Structure 1
């Protein structure tokens, strides 16, 4: 059976948390760089995917959904700014670990609110078919968005999304030259 919308979002959350743990608990700088790239890649794509799909669905299907979406957008802007700082650091930077810890502290608060309030309300308002359809769209959307954080002063402006989408090909090309972990032997985070 195809996953529901909230399960697709939660799966991303678990992956982000898993990559964070890999960075924090590794003493190998090369491994930290590889998981830093994976963490950045997943969080940047997830954030834009939520902004493009999840928040408009909140607005459409939930009473008070516009307020919820606007609050989440503000939280995302803060996290994207933190991610921009973190993605440009190296493990030898003295603020490398404190920066990702602060980012994850703020992100964890957002994840908790979303998983205990927004997503359960949303699932109740959607049919199973609509929920599965949104889950598919969410996965597809993440294939076409930037894989690095690009916070801008155009937050909330309609052209913001268009500008971000223009950076995607550049990010994807640069990803070819980044170091990545071998994920073939890593258990899937949602399976743990």
Structure 2
């Protein structure tokens, strides 16, 4: 993927996340190691995605959309709840009886978030924000994502990039990913 506008970049990330969750929530896979690796990959994608949305998407939503403040706050609340679920799953064996229920709740939240953004937020932002600004923000999103490489999964290879840090799977994954990403936008 070349540098494109932020809406295109986020849409592509949504597709990546949906594909991982489709595989993760598929019936019949009881291989604990495979599910754990896939979950770690999903968590890595989600945390990185949440950070770039927080840095670039939500400030643009606040600035360019009517009721943008309310919408951004709603999204922050949803992300906080999703992170709570990810933290529960982070230390839980895939064989734990609660694992599938928590994973299903997280998957529902992620799918709802993606649907809301794809049908409401991104089209409105695209109409309200100039193409030059969306291109600039898209480049910043891609550059920010280069700060960290999430735990790999053989079925979902990452695009080649020169991430200075590969974050390993395991307990504390969410915090380690966040530690390697900027905590504020570099305008």
The TM-score range, normalised by the shorter chain, is 0.7 to 0.9
Alignment coverage as a number of residue pairs: 156
Whichever structure has more helix as a proportion of its residues is: 1
How far has the Cα of 1:101 moved from its partner? 0.7
- Residues in 2 aligned to 1:174 and 1:112: alpha-carbon distance in whole angstroms: 28
- Residues in 1 aligned to 2:113 and 2:11: alpha-carbon distance in whole angstroms: 12
Q: Give the unaligned 5+ runs of structure 2.
A: 152-163, 172-187
Counterpart contact for 1:44–1:146, Cα < 8 Å: no
How far has the Cα of 1:79 moved from its partner? 0.9
Q: From the superposition, tell whether residues 176 and 98 of structure 1 become closer, same or farther in structure 2 (CA, over 3 Å).
A: closer
Q: Give the unaligned 5+ runs of structure 1.
A: 149-168, 179-192
Give TM-score scaled by structure 2 length: 0.74
1:175 paired to 2:178: no
1:69 paired to 2:72: yes
1:36 paired to 2:39: yes
Look up the match of 1:15.
Answer: 16
1:45 paired to 2:48: yes
- What RMSD over aligned residues (CA atoms) do the two structures have, in Å? 2.5
Q: Secondary structure at the match of 1:175?
A: coil
Q: Secondary structure at the match of 2:25?
A: helix
- Residues in 2 aligned to 1:177 and 1:125: alpha-carbon distance in whole angstroms: 41
- Residues in 1 aligned to 2:95 and 2:4: alpha-carbon distance in whole angstroms: 40
Counterpart contact for 2:58–2:72, Cα < 8 Å: yes
Give TM-score scaled by structure 1 length: 0.72
The match for 1:127 among 114, 120, 130 is 130
1:106 paired to 2:109: yes
How far has the Cα of 1:3 moved from its partner? 2.3
- Residues in 1 aligned to 2:140 and 2:48: alpha-carbon distance in whole angstroms: 13
How far has the Cα of 1:105 moved from its partner? 0.8
